[in-house]
Structure formats: structure tokens, C-alpha cells
């Protein structure tokens, strides 16, 4: 019996070695799919045989995959709740990526509806190098309702919101970085609620109202960072500042260039707590920084202000002013 057993074991090991099950275990490989205006949704989604619609492309991607959208204009919106479920990543190292094809520009311009991109229940999704044209919709992008988190829009353009703000950031740990945000026709560049969202490295201009508003009626819009942005030409239609902090605690406005707006930065309304305004350059606005009477414990430091009608006006509680020039 021992000899028979040994022979059987040897045969099994040889079979495993020959089939590669031991030496080369199977691992999942990230896939890349393609969409083009002249594609066909009956295709396989390869570069040579792309899909025609973004919706079809999204329906096949999984964590770690990339969907490239070839240059052109697509009359499509991306709504996460139109998928069951929307494909999501597992980390920033293993996201779902939806991007313009390299060296080409994909424009999403729906003929109507509420939003161009609406992420309500997804996470770890990156939108890269896309243009969102919301001239026929109310918003350009809404991110974070119903628990969506870790959504990133980068290296793109968001413009022309027809009804309200270009970008509504809620939820948590969502990011808009290194993009152009402009020409919200009646409202803001950004409306930010939730917590721990990031607006960094953007060019935010020609919005009718605030470039960035941090606000929530429940007073819980906390720990947001607005940094390294250039903001200009905002607020004139509504007589509003480039940045306003109207609620929440521990919000950080850092190292922004703010010029030629109706006004610079204000901290007002629903008792914002421990707002930090640090190392911004603010010039040629109606006022530079205005701290309202409901603000508590704001720290205003290391800012450079010039050619504003009023540099800093403080009516807050326990405001710290230091090293501004």
C-alpha cells in the first residue's frame, strides 16, 4: 500500500507541475477597455474593437481596471445608481479608472438631466482628464451622497453648470485636484459638505457666486482642505467671496492665490469653529478676509494681502491674527 500511495502522490505532483498550478498560481490581472464614438457595444471593448457608449464600458470594469474614452463628445451622463452596483475599487492602489484616452480629450455633455457625473454609492473611482460640460444640466458633478467616498476627479475640466454649482462634494475623502472649474452660470464653483474632502491645485474662475462654499445646514461640514488653488473672477453676479466657510470645524484654507474676485475669504453664519486661513495671497478684492461674529477660534496667519479695499476685518470670538502682511 505504501508503494501504491507514493506512486499516486508522485503522479499528482507531476501533473500539478506540468499544468503550472504550483509554479505559476493564477492571479487576477487588471484589464483595459476602450470606448469610441465610432465603436459598437457588441464589440469586445478592445482598442481595435471599442465599445460605443461609456455606459457599456462601465458595465464591464472591475477593481483595478481602466476604461479609456477616445476623443470626442459623448451625450452621456454617469450615474452610479444606474448600475447594480457601480464598479468600485478597493484602495487608491487598486481603483477603477475612467479616463480620456492618452493625448485625446473626451467631453461628456448630456442633452439634459440633473448632473453629468453623480456618484452616490461608489468608492475608489478615479476620473482622469475628462471634460464635463454641464450647459444643459443643473450640476456638473455631484459626489458623496448615500455614503460615496474616495472619489477623485483629476487633470480635467468642469464647466457651465446651468442651474446650481459646478461641483457638489459631500460624503468623505473625495477629491478634485489639478483641474479647471469655471463658469457656473448662476451659482458656485464648489459646494462642500460632509467631512475630509479635498480641493487642491485647481484653477477656479468666472463662477457667478462663491468659488468654494463650505456649508451644511446641520453644521457638520468638517475637516475640509482647500489648498494650492488659483481663484479669480468669482462672485460678481451674487456679490459673494471667493471662499466662504459658513459651518463646521477645523476647515483649512491654505496657500491659495485669490485675486480679482468680488471679495476674498469670509468666515460667517452657523458658528464655524477653528477655521484656519494660512499662507494665502489675496489681492484686488473688495475685502481680503472677513471674520464674522459667529466665528469661533479662527486662526488667520502668514497671509499676504494687498490692493484690497479692506485687508482684514475681524468680528469673531477668540480669533488669532498673526504674521499677516
Share of the chain above pLDDT 70, in %: 91
pTM: 0.91
Per DSSP, the residues of 91-117 read STTS-EEEEEPTT--EEE--SSSS-SE
Q: DSSP 3-state assignment of 12?
A: helix
Percentages (nearest 5) of helix, strand, coil residues in the chain: 10, 40, 55
Architecture of domain 34-322: 3 Solenoid (2.160)
Share of the chain above pLDDT 90, in %: 86
Instruction: Provide the residue ranges of all domains of the chain, joining segments of one domain with +.
Output: 34-322
Burial label, 66 (beta-carbon count in 10 A; 0-12, 13-18, 19+): middle
Give Cα 112 distance to the centre of its chain: 22
Please count the other Cβ atoms lying within 10 Å of the Cβ belonging to residue 76. Answer: 18
pLDDT in tens, 134-144: 999 999 999 98
Least confident of 22-31, 50-59, 60-69, 315-324: 22-31
Q: What is the mean predicted confidence (pLDDT) over 115-140?
A: 96
* CA-based nearest residue to 228, from 258, 272, 270, 264: 258
User: Could you give the CA distance from residue 204 to residue 317 in angstroms, rounded to a whole number?
Assistant: 30
Amino acid at each position: 500500500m505504501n508503494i501504491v500511495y507514493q506512486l499516486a502522490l508522485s503522479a499528482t505532483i507531476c501533473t500539478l507541475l506540468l499544468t503550472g498550478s504550483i509554479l505559476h498560481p493564477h492571479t487576477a490581472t487588471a484589464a483595459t477597455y476602450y470606448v469610441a464614438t465610432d465603436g459598437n457595444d457588441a464589440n469586445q471593448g478592445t482598442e481595435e474593437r471599442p465599445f460605443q457608449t461609456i455606459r457599456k464600458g462601465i458595465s464591464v470594469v472591475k477593481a483595478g481596471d481602466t476604461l479609456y474614452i477616445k476623443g470626442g463628445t459623448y451625450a452621456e451622463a454617469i450615474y452610479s445608481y444606474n448600475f447594480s452596483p457601480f464598479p468600485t475599487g478597493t484602495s487608491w492602489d487598486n481603483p477603477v479608472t475612467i479616463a480620456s484616452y492618452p493625448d485625446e480629450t473626451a467631453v461628456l455633455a448630456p442633452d439634459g438631466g440633473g448632473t453629468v457625473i453623480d456618484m452616490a454609492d461608489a468608492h475608489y473611482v478615479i476620473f482622469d482628464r475628462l471634460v464635463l460640460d454641464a450647459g444643459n444640466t443643473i450640476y456638473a458633478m455631484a459626489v458623496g451622497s448615500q455614503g460615496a467616498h474616495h472619489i477623485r476627479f483629476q487633470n480635467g475640466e468642469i464647466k457651465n453648470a446651468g442651474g446650481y454649482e459646478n461641483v457638489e462634494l459631500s460624503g468623505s475623502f473625495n477629491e478634485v485636484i489639478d483641474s479647471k472649474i469655471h463658469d457656473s452660470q448662476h451659482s458656485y464653483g464648489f459646494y462642500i459638505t460632509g467631512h475630509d474632502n479635498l480641493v487642491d491645485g485647481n484653477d477656479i474662475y468666472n463662477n457667478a457666486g462663491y468659488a468654494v462654499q463650505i456649508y451644511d445646514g446641520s453644521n457638520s461640514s468638517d475637516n475640509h482642505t482647500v489648498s494650492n488653488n488659483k481663484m479669480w473672477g468669482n462672485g460678481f453676479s451674487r456679490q459673494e467671496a471667493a471662499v466662504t466657510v459658513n459651518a463646521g470645524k477645523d476647515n483649512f484654507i491654505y496657500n491659495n492665490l485669490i485675486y480679482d474676485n468680488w471679495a476674498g475669504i469670509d468666515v460667517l453664519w452657523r458658528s464655524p469653529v477653528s477655521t484656519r486661513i494660512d499662507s494665502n495671497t489675496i489681492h484686488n478684492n473688495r475685502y481680503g478676509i472677513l471674520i464674522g461674529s459667529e466665528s469661533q477660534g479662527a486662526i488667520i496667519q502668514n497671509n499676504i494681502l494687498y490692493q484690497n479695499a479692506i485687508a482684514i476685518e475681524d468680528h469673531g470670538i477668540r480669533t488669532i491674527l498673526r504674521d499677516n502682511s
